[in-house]
Structure 1
Amino acid sequence: MNTFVNGINNDPAMPNSEIAKQTVTPNEAHQNFANTLKTAIENVNNAQAESDKKTEALAKGQIDDLHDVMITAQKASVTLETSVEVQRQVIDAYNKIMRMQI
């Protein structure tokens, strides 16, 4: 219980935290966002590639575990759907910002 409380007290989002006091330049923020986005897209691509690989192996008779193939395909599908929904949300947020009057 004490560890949990200490974990909360060390939350980086809290204003007294050492991490919250650090400043990030716009260029660093841009690079961090770009790297995060690139990693997320690579993860979606890897999930799709793994699903395709297992589906092809099942069709060729190289593996017999249909459940594993279906689970992998479903994970890839959910990952892709999530990324598409995030894209929609980002575009909606951008459009709302662009419509704001100054």
Structure 2
Amino acid sequence: MYIRGDIMSSFLNGVTGSRAVMPNSETAKQTASPNEAHQHFANKLKSAIDQVNEAQVASDKKTEALAKGEIEDLHNVMISAQKASVTLETSVQIQGKVTDAYNKIMRMQI
């Protein structure tokens, strides 16, 4: 099973690619309403989480197939497992940074 593209960079692009500015036409940009920005960010975040899950599932399937003797290519199994591990670790690190940023914002004086 092939994992789509470079998981880590697509995960990072999915999370960091969300902006509150959405294209209205090809040449003009309009600032999005808070609801549109919320929906856009939620969709990007869900997509990134789905990619992490896909990497984990693909790794699990390859590991199980190796254990059953269905495949003998240990190299690809280990690469798949490492990609899943790095992707999960990246998502955990991003979650920590987002939580820290949220806590800093909540402590700000108005």
TM over 0.5: yes
Comparing both structures, which one devotes a greater share of its residues to strand? 2
Q: What is the aligned-residue identity percentage?
A: 75
Report the TM-score, using the length of structure 1 for normalisation.
0.80
Give 1:99's match in structure 2, choosing from 80, 100, 107: 107
Give 2:92's match in structure 1, choosing from 84, 87, 95: 84
The size of the alignment, in residue pairs, is 86
Comparing both structures, which one devotes a greater share of its residues to helix? 1
The structure whose RCO (Cα within 8 Å, separation 6+) is larger is 2
Structure 1 gap ranges (5+): 1-17
Aligned to 1:27: 35
Structure 2 gap ranges (5+): 1-26
RMSD: 1.6
Q: 1:33 Cα deviation (Å)? A: 0.4
Give 1:57's match in structure 2, choosing from 57, 62, 65: 65
Larger radius of gyration: 1
Matches for 1:1-80 after TM superposition, within 5 Å: 18-19=27-28, 21-80=29-88
